[in-house]
């Protein structure tokens, strides 16, 4: 248990006890007005009764997908199989039709249908993928009738899939082993409906809860909730599946107070599952939790004592507002934004002034979080960034302004710039496709990179979608405008920088010039004129054959195309779309990430993967928060307050019989290991002098969350999981415990030096042995020794686990501290508490 401490004679024994998205396709009920066409197995059971000719897109390709023909392991692989390649997951209908019907010896031979390789090879036992169907089967008959009918493809004018109708739209099982088969109907733009259950694909998001086979038969396996997902054409539809964890459902469910809309929406889901939420955390738990989550900072002992003594009913809400107004709030959330946007000095293209640029990036974000600038304006300052302050600014004036940002000691305030261009000047942001991946991840929570090569396996995105989204960023350039190259050369000559100078010498020369007050010629971020930026698409490892022809028209994800003539900078159209109230990703992505910060998992989890096959665990909750966030004007503090003031956030970590295994429905607080920077700062705070504690949330100097620590060479931060910010994934930050972390906290010389050199422990030691020449008695001598020991023990608990000790803990700790000089015993107690699970987790 977290709060138990046993009587021991040494700190190690004491420690041993202490450690004990709006989607395009949705599952909807059948309308019933237009009965669906009978399924293919009935219509093509016998060839002589099958009068129709199957459709290539509606029938042939989905059926081949169901049989695995276009999977990664078969003809959907990049190299294909046996000289025959299909598009992965069957999304490129023209290419697939050409693969089947083209060439000198087409696999679908309309002149000799019965000799067609695609008809006969899959029926043979020696087929590389095994026998897929038999002669005379409905699958055989579908392919045969399609070939006999002329093996026609799909025209551009053909009706598009409108939606899938799934029955049932939600599955609730009562016991393991129960089964239910899904029925899938496709609705097309021409109004036709067809039962496509037999040519759809299915998967389960959690097979420990529910399994689903190739026929769409769902089998209950365990208690809890998940989704099974149906795939057909470009539709991806999740269907909720659950089995209550207790019999406390319906009328048996106890009355649970829901003080806010967040609580009501969470409780509505818990009621279906028979999960009763835990009670509210006590004041000490709440204060520690909200302080760490919101400001990345432990509460101070004085703050804890004052909060526990206060009796006002609204003290938690007022504490939240107080923390939101603190510099530590801005520092911690600027650090989070740096994670999401990739602020890493090692990743910057320019090698000159890398640390300063990274710091400027942080300061730019810090200022906006501190001033509560609306989130859409923060993103706009990143997304629409260019280097020059104004379009009419000359190159030389731009260089003068930029040089001023690096002059010491009176550098100009970079954070006052309207935009922040460094986001685009990273090494992994030099190609348009890299920019598309980064923007979709950072601001939309969409992992679109799979679509660079093939259709996304769990979403609607095709390679064409990716290329058209990439087109937004093709005009962006980083370098020197052609018309400014001569002036740049003049400036370099004036500085004595010759052609061919080495990088190290250039860096030294640049720093010397800035120190002397000279102006440096700088590269800049700018938008090139003309379609596609007036430059051909570059080759790269994923696109060895650049797309020929004119540049593609930019297209918003899941929305309309943007004619290039309307915008000098296509990114403007992208930002306008993000701000739209009906945008299915922008607000939801940041809402989900903020929620994940507070609960350890997102409403959509992983938090940066808002794909169709990964639906929210509580859709109405995500809708409510996203709509409210947009309605508030993208007010980040509104979002924080709404979550933090809910009972859902303020519940205890201690489970009950119904929610012990719940980690996705927010019925209790799941303990989470402290993030690297927060844990690092917490250690320093625990050993700090009382004067430093008084300014811990206002003075960010020396704070890891304040960007003042050398991350690259800091062993502790690396060991604790600080991300290098080199890849576009929230998973780069690791909050998982490891043996190395345990060894570091117990034995690392740097940690031990922090304890041994603790300013607070030095003060205690001075009170134990006051200087002989002081002429006065130490304050400690006026107190009875047991009373002084108890006060010091209580201080250690408040500094580390942010609560007073229990009576048993106090007795045991007093014995540890009181058997020697208090400062020596206190050192062991402090080491012990820093190595408890309770210290290193938020709960």
Task: Identify the three-state secondary structure at position 689.
Answer: coil
Does the structure show a pLDDT above 50 at 537? no
125 and 174, same domain (yes or no): no
Q: 128 or 326, which is more confident?
A: 326
In a domain, 476, yes or no: yes
- For the cut 50, the answer to whether the pLDDT of residue 780 exceeds it is no
Calpha distance 572→309 (Å, rounded): 53
Looking at the fold, whether 467 and 544 belong to one and the same domain comes out as yes
**Between these two residues, 378 and 817, which has the higher pLDDT value?**
378
If asked whether residues 195 and 62 sit together in one domain, one would say no
Print the domain residue range for 491: 349-444+447-579
Looking at 209, 243, 277, the residue that finishes a domain is 243
Going by the DSSP 8-state scheme, the letter that residue 561 receives in this structure is: B
pLDDT for the residue numbered 24: 35
Structure confidence at residue 11 (pLDDT): 54
Average pLDDT, the chain: 87
In the predicted model, what is the mean pLDDT of residues 56-62? 91
DSSP per residue, 539-567: PBTTBSSPPPSSPPPPB-TTS-B--GGG-
Q: How far apart are CA 629 and CA 638, in angstroms?
A: 7
Residue 396 has pLDDT above 50, yes or no: yes
The 10s digit of each residue's pLDDT in 492-507 is: 988 888 877 877 888 8
Do 132 and 214 share a structural domain?
no
Mean pLDDT value of segment 625-650: 98
Q: Is pLDDT of 184 > 90?
A: yes
- When pLDDT is averaged across residues 688-699 and rounded to a whole number, the result is 93
**Does 369 fall in a domain?**
yes
Kindly state the average pLDDT of the residues 60-69: 88
Whole-number Å distance between alpha carbons of 322 and 334:
18
**Does position 711 have pLDDT exceeding 70, yes or no?**
no
Look at residue 572 and tell me whether its pLDDT is greater than 60: yes
The 3-state secondary structure of 174-186 reads CCCCCEEECEEEE
For residue 729, name the pLDDT band (cuts at 50, 70, 90): confident
Rounded-to-integer distance, Cα 364 and Cα 707, Å: 12
Among 450, 420, 402, 405, which residue's Cα sits nearest to residue 341? 420
User: Are 435 and 426 contacting, i.e. CB atoms less than 8 angstroms apart?
Assistant: no
| Same domain membership, residue 165 and residue 143 | no
Q: Which residues contact 313 (CB under 8 A, 6 or more apart)?
A: none
The 10s digit of each residue's pLDDT in 469-492 is 999 999 999 999 999 999 999 999
Cα 519 to Cα 259: distance, rounded to the nearest angstrom: 60
List, as one string, the DSSP characters of 274-342.
TPPPP-B--HHHHHHHHHHHHHS-PPPHHHHHHHHH---TTHHHHHHHHHHTSHHHHHHHHHHHHHHHT
The upper half-sphere exposure of residue 505, i.e. CA atoms within 13 Å in the direction of its Cβ, equals 8
Most confident by average pLDDT, 76-85, 666-675, 747-756: 666-675
Instruction: Report, as an integer, the average pLDDT of 577-603.
Output: 96
Average pLDDT of the residues in 429-433:
93
The band of 545, judged by pLDDT with boundaries at 50, 70 and 90, is very low
Q: How far does CA 11 lie from the centroid of its chain?
A: 40
Residue 128, number of CB atoms within 10 A of its CB: 12
Let me know whether 680 and 754 are in one domain: yes
Q: Is 260 inside a domain boundary?
A: no
In which band, very low, low, confident or very high, does the pLDDT at 26 lie, cut at 50, 70 and 90? very low
Number of domains in the chain: 4
Task: Give the mean model confidence (pLDDT) for residues 445-454.
Answer: 80
* CA-CA-CA-CA dihedral for 412, 415, 417, 418, to nearest 10: -170
Read off the CATH number of the domain in which 237 is found. Answer: 2.60.40.1080
> Quick one: pLDDT band at residue 50, thresholds 50, 70, 90?
low
Predicted pLDDT of residue 22: 29
pLDDT, residue 417, reads 96
Give SS3 for 527: strand
637 part of a folded domain: no
Q: What is the Cα–Cα distance from 244 to 249, expressed in whole angstroms?
A: 8
Q: For a pLDDT cut of 70, what percent of the chain falls above it? A: 89
Q: Where does 24-139 show beta strands of DSSP type E?
A: none
The residue with greater pLDDT, 751 or 668, is: 668
CA 597 to chain centre: 10
Q: Which of 579, 601, 631 is the last residue of a domain?
A: 579
Highest-scoring range by mean pLDDT, 56-70, 112-126, 614-628? 614-628
Query: Other C-beta atoms within 10 Å of 730: how many?
Result: 18
Give the SS3 label for residue 440. Answer: helix
Q: Residue 31's pLDDT band (boundaries 50, 70, 90)? A: very low
Count CA within 13 A, CB hemisphere, residue 151: 23
CA distance 553 to 530: 13
Residue where one domain finishes, among candidates 243, 261, 290: 243
Q: Are 768 and 779 in contact (CB under 8 A)?
A: no
Q: What is the pLDDT of residue 5?
A: 39
Count of Cβ atoms closer than 10 Å to residue 758 Cβ: 22
**Is 550 part of any domain?**
yes
Say whether pLDDT at 252 is over 70.
Answer: yes
pLDDT at residue 540, rounded to an integer:
41
Q: Note whether residue 613 is domain-resident.
A: no
Report the pLDDT value the prediction gives residue 525, as an integer from 0 to 100.
96
Q: What is the pTM of this model?
A: 0.90
- pLDDT band at 35; cut points 50, 70, 90: low
Mean pLDDT of 608-630: 95
In this structure, are 126 and 170 located in the same domain? no
**pLDDT band with cut points at 50, 70 and 90 for residue 121:** confident
> Phi, psi at residue 267, to the nearest 5°?
-65, -35
For the cut 80, the answer to whether the pLDDT of residue 530 exceeds it is: no
Instruction: Give the whole-angstrom CA distance, residue 551 versus residue 535.
Output: 10
Cα–Cα distance list, 197 to 230, 419, 615 (Å): 9, 51, 21
94 assigned to some structural domain:
yes
In this structure, of 78-92, 236-250, 665-679, the range with the lowest mean pLDDT score is: 78-92
Contact between residue 799 and residue 685 where contact means Cβ atoms under 8 Å apart: yes
Instruction: Say if residue 125 is in the same domain as residue 175.
Output: no
Q: What's the pLDDT score for residue 764?
A: 86
770 burial via Cβ count (<10 Å: 0-12, 13-18, 19+): middle
Q: What is the pLDDT of residue 441?
A: 94
**Confidence band (pLDDT; 50, 70, 90) for 563?**
confident
**Any domain includes 611:** no
Q: What is the spatial distance between Cα 676 and Cα 655, in angstroms, rounded to a whole number?
A: 26
- Whether the pLDDT of residue 683 is over 90: the answer is yes
Provide the sign of the torsion angle of the four alpha carbons 637, 640, 644, 648, taken in this order: positive
Residues 470 and 529 in one domain: yes
With a cut of 60, say whether residue 312 has pLDDT above it.
yes
pLDDT band at 833 (very low <50, low <70, confident <90, very high): very high
The shares of helix, strand and coil residues in the chain, as percent rounded to the nearest 5, are: 45, 10, 45
Query: What pLDDT score does 155 carry?
Result: 80
Q: Cα(first)–Cα(last) distance of the chain, in Å?
A: 13
How far apart CA 299 and CA 791 sit, in angstroms, is 18
Q: Are strands 183-188 and 161-167 parallel, antiparallel or unpaired?
A: antiparallel
Same domain? For 170 and 104 the reply is no
How much of the chain exceeds pLDDT 90, in percent? 62
Least confident of 67-81, 241-255, 589-603: 67-81
In terms of Cβ atoms closer than 10 Å to its own Cβ (0-12, 13-18, 19+), residue 626 is: buried
Residue 33 pLDDT > 70, yes or no? Answer: no
117 and 229 housed in the same domain: no
Instruction: Please give the pLDDT value at position 130.
Output: 83
184 and 122 share a domain? no
pLDDT at 20 over 60: no
Q: What pLDDT shows up at residue 255?
A: 95
> CA-to-CA distance for 780 and 822, rounded, in angstroms?
11
């Amino acid at each position: 248990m977290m709060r138990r401490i046993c009587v021991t004679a040494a700190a190690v024994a004491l420690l041993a006890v202490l450690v004990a998205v709006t989607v395009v396709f949705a599952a909807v009920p059948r309308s019933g007005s237009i009965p669906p066409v009978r399924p293919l197995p009935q219509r093509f059971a016998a060839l002589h009764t099958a009068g129709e000719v199957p459709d290539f897109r509606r029938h042939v390709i989905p059926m081949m997908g169901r049989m695995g023909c276009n999977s990664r392991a078969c003809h959907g692989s990049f190299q294909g199989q046996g000289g025959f390649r299909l598009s992965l997951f069957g999304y490129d209908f023209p290419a697939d039709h050409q693969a089947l019907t083209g060439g000198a010896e087409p696999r679908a031979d309309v002149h000799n249908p019965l000799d067609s390789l695609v008809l006969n090879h899959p029926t043979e036992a020696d087929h590389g993928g095994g026998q897929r169907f038999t002669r005379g089967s409905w699958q055989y008959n579908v392919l045969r009738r399609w070939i006999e009918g002329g093996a026609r493809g799909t025209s551009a004018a053909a009706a598009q899939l409108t939606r899938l109708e799934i029955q049932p739209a939600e599955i609730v099982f009562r016991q393991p082993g129960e089964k239910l088969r899904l029925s899938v109907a496709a609705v097309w733009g021409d109004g036709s409906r067809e039962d496509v259950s037999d040519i759809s694909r299915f998967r389960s998001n959690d097979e420990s809860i529910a399994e689903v086979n190739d026929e769409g038969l769902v089998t209950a396996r365990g208690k809890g909730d998940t989704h099974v997902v149906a795939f057909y054409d470009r539709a991806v539809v999740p269907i909720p599946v659950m089995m209550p964890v207790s019999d406390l459902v319906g009328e048996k469910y106890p009355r649970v107070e829901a003080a806010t809309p967040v609580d009501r929406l969470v409780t509505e889901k818990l009621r279906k599952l028979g999960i009763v939420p835990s009670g509210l955390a006590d004041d000490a738990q709440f204060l520690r939790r909200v302080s760490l989550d919101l400001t990345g900072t432990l509460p101070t002992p004085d703050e804890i004592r004052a909060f526990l003594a206060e009796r006002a009913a609204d003290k938690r809400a007022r504490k939240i507002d107080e923390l939101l107004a603190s510099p530590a709030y801005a520092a911690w959330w600027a650090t989070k934004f740096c994670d999401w946007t990739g602020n890493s000095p090692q990743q910057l293209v320019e090698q000159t002034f890398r640390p300063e640029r990274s710091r400027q990036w942080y300061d730019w974000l810090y200022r906006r979080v501190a001033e509560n600038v609306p989130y859409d304006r923060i993103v706009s300052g990143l997304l629409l960034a260019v280097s020059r302050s104004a379009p009419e600014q000359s190159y030389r004036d731009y260089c003068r302004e930029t040089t001023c940002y690096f002059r010491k000691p009176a550098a100009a305030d970079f954070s006052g710039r309207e935009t922040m261009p460094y986001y685009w000047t990273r090494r992994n942001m030099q190609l348009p496709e890299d920019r598309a991946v980064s923007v979709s991840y950072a601001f939309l929570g969409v992992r679109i990179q799979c679509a660079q090569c093939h259709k996304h396996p769990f979403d609607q995105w095709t390679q064409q979608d990716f290329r058209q989204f990439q087109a937004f960023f093709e005009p962006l350039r980083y370098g020197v405008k052609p018309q400014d190259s001569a002036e740049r050369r003049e400036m370099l000559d004036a500085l004595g920088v010759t052609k061919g100078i080495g990088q190290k010498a250039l860096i030294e020369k640049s720093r010397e010039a800035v120190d002397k007050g000279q102006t440096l010629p700088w590269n800049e971020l700018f938008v090139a004129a003309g379609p596609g930026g007036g430059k051909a698409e570059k080759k790269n490892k994923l696109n060895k054959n650049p797309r020929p022809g004119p540049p593609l028209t930019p297209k918003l994800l899941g929305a309309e195309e943007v004619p290039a003539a309307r915008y000098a900078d296509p990114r403007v159209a992208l930002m306008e779309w993000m701000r739209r109230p009906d945008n299915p990703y922008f607000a939801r992505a940041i809402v989900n990430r903020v929620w994940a910060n507070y609960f350890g998992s997102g409403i959509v989890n992983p938090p940066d993967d808002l794909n169709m096959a990964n639906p929210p665990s509580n859709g109405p909750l995500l809708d409510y928060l996203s709509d409210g966030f947009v309605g508030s004007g993208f007010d980040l503090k509104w979002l924080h307050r709404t979550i933090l003031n809910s009972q859902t956030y303020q519940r205890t970590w201690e489970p009950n019989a119904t929610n012990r295994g719940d980690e996705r429905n927010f019925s209790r607080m799941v303990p989470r290991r402290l993030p690297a920077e927060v844990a690092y700062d917490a250690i320093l705070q625990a050993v700090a002098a009382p004067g430093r504690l008084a300014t811990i949330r206002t003075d960010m100097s020396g704070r890891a969350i304040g960007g003042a620590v050398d991350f690259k060479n800091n062993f502790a931060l690396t060991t604790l999981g600080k991300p290098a910010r080199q890849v576009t994934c929230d998973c780069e930050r690791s909050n998982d415990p490891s043996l190395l972390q345990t060894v570091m906290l117990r034995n690392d010389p740097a940690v031990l030096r922090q304890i041994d050199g603790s300013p607070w422990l030095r003060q205690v030691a001075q009170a134990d042995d006051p200087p002989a020449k002081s002429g006065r008695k130490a304050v400690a001598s006026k107190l009875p020794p047991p009373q002084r020991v108890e006060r010091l023990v209580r201080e250690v608990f408040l500094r580390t686990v942010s609560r007073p000790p229990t009576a048993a803990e106090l007795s045991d700790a007093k014995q540890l501290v009181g058997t020697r000089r208090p400062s020596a015993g206190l050192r062991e107690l402090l080491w012990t508490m820093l190595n408890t699970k309770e210290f290193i987790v938020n709960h």
